[in-house]
Structure 1
Amino acid sequence: MSIAASELILNPDGSVYHLNLRPEHISNTIITVGDPDRVDSVTTYFDSVEFKIKKREFHTQTGTYKGKRITVISTGIGTDNIDIVLNELDALVNIDLKKRTVKDTLTTLDVIRIGTSGSIQKHIPINSFLISEYAVGFDSLLHYYQSDSVQEKDVTKALKEATSWDEFKSHPYVVSCSKELFNKLSSKHTFKGFTGTNVGFYGPQGRVLRLKLKDNKLNEKLAQFKYNNLQITNLEMETAGIYGLSKLLGHNAISMNAILANRATGEFSENPSKLIEKLIVYTLNKLVE
């Protein structure tokens, strides 16, 4: 059955609506970054760049690094944008855009997030690299999809009980990463983590400027939570959405985190740009090993 024009929106040139991309513009290896300016920070290491385009917060470049074709795309901040990026990237490889039908043979993408994050555990220091083995979403994105099959519901249940989760907050969801990509990108230089994906930077992550928090001990509860060998390690704003949608769509996903802040000790990196640059180089080299 053909997908209606109102559901799969295309631009006059045949590109997908928000990303402004056509299938030939992307590789099967996708690096996502939050900041549009960080796309250039990644592709500056490329041997060559064949394609560039910008639309809204979505900045895309495709090129080669040590002979491997890679696409780098900025998502902006938050899982609302992840919903757009993951669905439209999947449409580019798994939907015939002219016929508006799902292809008989589906393509699997490797999606690698390179982003920043803050640790909530004292033993994970600033200026370190953390790979998210699991992620818990404190947003509601995955609950709009039939997603029970990809959720770790036992972990979610234990987390809600341990934190006395407020009924007015979104129901959390827990998803694991791609084991293949985790093994490929892990090393003695990386920490293994369980990442919390928040719906905001201030209140949802326990920061207080002028507004009082409804639960000012939530970060402490999250840091103390343990389930088997799992312990929540860090907070950011995209990983759980990337993991959830990638699993549902049949793609591999991993989140690489540059730990800029340690919320438990109050420290912040003195040179965040240098740390992010090191993580970019580390990730690119691991991808081509």
Structure 2
Amino acid sequence: MKDKLTDANFPRTADNRVYHLGLRPGEIANRIVTVGSPSRALTIATHFDEEPKKFRLVSERGFQTITGRYKGVPVSVISIGMGAPNMDFFVREARESIAGDMVIVRLGSCGSLNYTSAPVGTVVVPKACVSITRNVDFDFGSSSDEHIEEKAYRISRPVSDDLQLHQLIVSSLENARAPGDQSKIVGDLVNASADSFYSSQGRLTSFPDHNAHLVEELLQQIDNLGTLEMETHHLYHLAKCWNNRPNQAFTNPNLDHTGPPLTTGPVRPVTLASSTSGVTSDNAAIPAAIIDSKIHVSAAQIVFAARTSADRDFITPERVQAIEEWGGKGVLEALIAYHVPSERLHPEKGSAWSMQNV
């Protein structure tokens, strides 16, 4: 941390950069692709327009944001790493940095629990998600859980994605799929997001996790369950929370973004070879979230592993690269096709996607 932070409730620097993403208003667009892998973000950014030059920032906490335009529409891609906590950092801090509506699509990886419907290489657009969390009050030191009433793992109710965005992603992926590529696009399955790559996903390690039958129980309890990963439920959950919040005229101290001119932030902005980081947004001090703004979300998940097949197949690096290439383009097509009224977009003046200096 290189700059003084203010407000322990929602830390910011003097020039309004948020704590973990390192961004300030004008550096992240309303339409966003979120990924886990930094290299996947770079792959997606290759589809961006040549002008304006791409803005890229890597924060001290490892979040990478690339902002530009795709077919003339402002877009951002951000790599956040893994798990619900990192998804939480991203959604909350991006929300406080963007005026108007947000449209977010996660392009990530997952494991398949139904290798006939979703074999390795399938791209699944989950219509809903549940959360699986490890019950820390459970007696994991017990030799058996047969006589313990409390469950070792908790399963949440399902939460759905945005139906219109869901349909756009499915159709855009179908259109973007490379000629000859046999990858399936599946849009009728439910996803489960776990709080661990291991215990809460039924993987067996040397730890006494009491999870030997977890996958079997999940398939019995959750209709149309098809995939397992670690992030998508929290994205869907936060969008639902935001969109269903009381519509009250209140003053949120986080939205008072007045402050002195740009100084050195808590990060050193890193730019792509073809880009400039000279973002001098006049909007760095504007209120970020309008009262009736919405967050529209969905996801596309590449099946990396067949968890329930006899062979426990795993995807090859070459196939991952190929699907990321056309899958990233398909997700971008869906994002720009999703209509957001101009009055519900972040102002362009002084932003990373401004065409004024082109």
TM-score of the alignment, normalized to the shorter chain, above 0.5: yes
Deviations 1:238-263 (Å, cap 9, x if unpaired)? Answer: 00000011121231110110111111
Counterparts of 1:84-95 in structure 2, within 5 Å, are: 84-93=89-98
Does structure 1 residue 267 correspond to structure 2 residue 263?
Answer: no
State the alpha-carbon separation in 2 of the partners of residues 249 and 165 from structure 1. Answer: 35
Determine which structure has the larger strand proportion and give its number. 1
Please give the alpha-carbon distance, in whole angstroms, between the structure 1 residues aligned to 2:41 and 2:32: 12
Match status 1:31 vs 2:24: no
2 CA distance for matches of 1:6 and 1:249? 22
Name the CA shift for 1:165/1:23 in 2 (closer, same or farther; >3 Å).
Answer: farther
TM-score, length-normalised on structure 1?
0.79
1:51: Cα distance to partner? 1.4
1:119 touches 1:234 (CA, 8 Å); kept in 2? yes
The higher radius of gyration belongs to 2
Deviation at 1:17, TM superposition (A): 1.3
Q: Which residue of 1 aligns with 2:55?
A: 51
What is the rounded CA distance, in whole Å, between the counterparts of 1:63 and 1:208 in structure 2?
43
Output aligned runs, 1:62-141, within 5 Å: 62-93=67-98, 107-123=100-116, 124-139=118-133
Q: Which has the higher contact order (CA 8 A, sep 6+)?
A: 2
User: Greater shift after overlay, 40-49 or 268-277?
Assistant: 268-277
Report whether the alignment pairs 1:254 with 2:298.
Answer: yes
Distance in 1 between the 2:30 and 2:44 partners?
A: 17
State the partner residue of 2:328. 280
* Residue number in structure 2 paired with 1:99: none
Q: Secondary structure at the match of 2:44?
A: helix
Aligned equivalents of 2:333 and 2:221: distance in 1?
Answer: 34
Query: When the two structures are superposed, what TM-score results if normalisation uses the length of structure 2?
Result: 0.65
Q: Which blocks of at least 5 consecutive residues in structure 1 are unaligned?
A: 95-106, 141-163
Aligned partners of 2:185 and 2:150: how far apart in 1? 33
Question: Structure 1 runs of 4+ off > 4 angstroms?
Answer: none
Find the residue that maps to 2:13 and give its secondary structure.
coil
Aligned residue for 1:245, secondary structure, equals helix
CA distance in 2 between counterparts of 1:174 and 1:268 reads 27
Task: Provide structure 2 residue ranges, at least 5 long, that are not aligned to the other structure.
Answer: 1-5, 135-147, 175-183, 244-294, 338-358
For the residues of structure 1 that align with 2:208 and 2:326, how far apart are their CA atoms? 37
Assess if the C-alpha contact under 8 Å between 2:153 and 2:200 holds in 1.
no
Residues 45 and 77 in structure 2, CA contact (< 8 A), matched pair in contact too: yes
Note if 1:206 corresponds to 2:187. no
Identity across aligned pairs (percent)?
28
Which among 167, 178, 185 is matched to residue 169 of structure 2?
Answer: 185
Separation in 1, partners of 2:133, 2:92:
17
Q: 1:172 aligns with which of 153, 156, 176?
A: 156
Q: Given residue 224 of structure 1, which amino acid in structure 2 is its aligned partner?
A: Q
Q: Provide the aligned C-alpha RMSD in A.
A: 2.1
Contact 1:116 1:276 in 2 (8 A): no
Q: 1:120 to 1:47 in 2, by over 3 A?
A: same
Cα displacement (A) at 1:11:
1.5
Contact 2:33/2:331 (CA < 8 Å) preserved in 1?
no
Larger relative helix fraction:
1
Instruction: Name 2:179's counterpart in structure 1.
Output: none
- Give, in whole Å, the separation in 1 of the partners of 2:150 and 2:78: 35
Q: Does the 8 Å CA contact 2:123/2:185 hold for their aligned counterparts?
A: yes
Report if the CA contact (8 A) 1:79-1:139 is conserved: no
Q: Using the TM superposition, give the Cα deviation of residue 165 of structure 1 relative to its aligned residue in structure 2, in angstroms.
A: 9.2
Alpha-carbon separation, structure 2, partners of 1:204 and 1:168: 9
Q: 1:41 aligns with which of 40, 43, 55?
A: 43
From the superposition, tell whether residues 165 and 182 of structure 1 become closer, same or farther in structure 2 (CA, over 3 Å).
farther
Change in Cα spacing, 1:208 to 1:27, as seen in structure 2 (3 Å) is same
2:272 alignment counterpart: none
SS of 2:114's equivalent in the other structure is coil
CA-to-aligned-CA distance 1:45-81 (integer Å, 9 cap, x gap)? 1113431110122100101111121011111100011
